Amino acid sequence: MAGAGLVIAFVVAVISFLVWVFQPTKTKRMLNQIPGPPALPLIGNAHMLKPGGSEFYQQILEYTQMFDKDGILRLRVGLQPSVALYKPETVEVVLHTKSHITKSQEYRFLHPWVGTGLLTSTGDKWKMRRRLLTPTFHFRILYDFLQVFNEQSAIMVQRLEKQVDKGEFDMFPFITLCALDIICDTAMGKHVNAQADSDSKYVKAVYKMSELVHRRQKSPWFWPDVIYNSLPQGKQQQECLQILHGFTKAVIRERQSVIRKKIAEEGPTEPAKDDLYAEGGKKRMAFLDMLIYAAEGGANMTDEDIREEVDTFMFEGHDTTAAAANWAVHLLGANPEIQQKVQDELDDIFRGSDRPATMEDLADMKYLECCIKEALRLFPSVPMFARTISEDCVIGGYDVPEGTTAVVVTAALHRDPDHFPDPEKYDPDRWLPENCASRHPYCFIPFSAGLRNCIGQKFAMKEEKVVVSSILRRFNIKSMQTRADLLPMGELILRPQNGIRVKLTRRQQ
């Protein structure tokens, strides 16, 4: 078995060498003009990249500072040429066009998990899915989901009560499990009670898959499936996929049975208020229900297509919002004067009441929104994302050849001192209307931008407001870490290596 693996690795190396040797001279010449660290044949800069999430994240930020003149630098991982973009003028070239909407080939390592759904598809399939799914984020539906946000945040607050005056603890899992309960309820109409089961296999599988995909993206020797699947990492991936897909497939079958029975009894119909799933007398429609109704109504969607989109919602819809809310909690806990201003705003809105938040309340949380945006500036949930350059173009004054991977380094873009003076300072006032109206539209893109911007950004912002405001209405937060202690891990999602360590005290109303 080991001998066969060595033979496969040797064949892959020979093929890679030939591809590198015969790479068009024009492509090599164009890329070599772009500044960047020196690369080796075959592996490029892969040998230079730090293995650890926090070390790699810091390394990329340092590279962008070393080559920051034009907002573009060259990096090559294996045979794949790449450029990193981190100024709004260079980012705009890629995002503000219909030409470069295809995600880079590195996203193929997500395919075993989320397939080719909205996140990873391109062309006609992406356009069809985008048109189909956009109505699921209509204001009316978000209004219904607000009930879920409030219910699960209330459970989180009850759990946090046990931590009051008990010394420091890690806030991260409390918010993460709350976000998981929210996305299960809204995406699948399924109560999983993750907050009551803090040892969730699903959460562990999500984290492990994220780590495996990220490490594989940086390691060209792991790219061939035939090699990767025979290694311990490949077997770990299969174990994670069994948990992730097993969960979603079971829920899909359950909901299909209910909806098909209803259609058989009453005939085909558009989902209306009476069609919403009911649990405990509370009616809401889940994203999954909308997908099933669409499929039953003639939309070109198989069971596997539905699974792809549900898994995409589950990945993008809980991990990203949980990370954003946690970073905001740390920053507010580290800046008590800013925390007090948020609490004053909340006191003006709720007047001492413990009632759930309404849509009107969320609209009135203007300063809290500034605080969340500033947290997303410093710690964007997705620290970098990538597209494939589909035709030769000019970026930052350099010719970039077709087929190059363009990596948008969001975390570096958000620290551009030309648009954010004193960029490491946490200053929510940057987001007051009078301070941000004239900024470049591509200098702050926590939800991406252009045609492939995040379809769920309004969902995410409302959820984060409810979660963070629920904590601050009841507690005072004191962060127990400095910024240097956090060690952000720049994997698929930006998480703190050492958690979010805080102390809670109960507010005196």
Q: Is 454 annotated as a binding residue?
A: yes
One-letter amino acid for residue 327 of the chain = W
Residue carrying the six token digits 């630098």: 73
| Long-range pairs of 289-297 with CB within 8 A, sequence gap ≥ 24 | 289/189, 289/255, 289/259, 290/135, 290/136, 291/132, 292/252, 292/255, 292/256, 292/259, 293/259, 294/132, 296/259, 296/260, 296/263, 296/268, 297/268, 297/270
How far is it, in rounded angstroms, from Cα 152 to Cα 2? Answer: 50
CA angle 257, 289, 493 (to 5 degrees): 120
Angle at the Cα of 462 (from 246 to 253), degrees rounded to 5? 20
Q: What angle do CA 307, 308, 314 make, to 5 degrees?
A: 85
Alpha carbon separation from 484 to 148, 292, 384, 497 (Å, rounded): 35, 47, 21, 11
Closest by Cα among 504, 491, 353, 409 to 50: 491
| Cross-strand partners of 479 | 502
Q: Is there a contact between 131 and 424 (Cβ–Cβ < 8 Å)?
A: no
Terminal-residue alpha carbon distance, the chain: 68
Residues 190, 184: contact at Cβ < 8 Å? yes
287, containing H or E segment: helix 287-296
- In 3D space, the residue among 109, 76, 87, 77 whose CA is nearest the CA of residue 213 turns out to be 109
Please report, in range form, the residues annotated as the binding site for heme: 454
Please report, in range form, the residues annotated as the binding site: 454
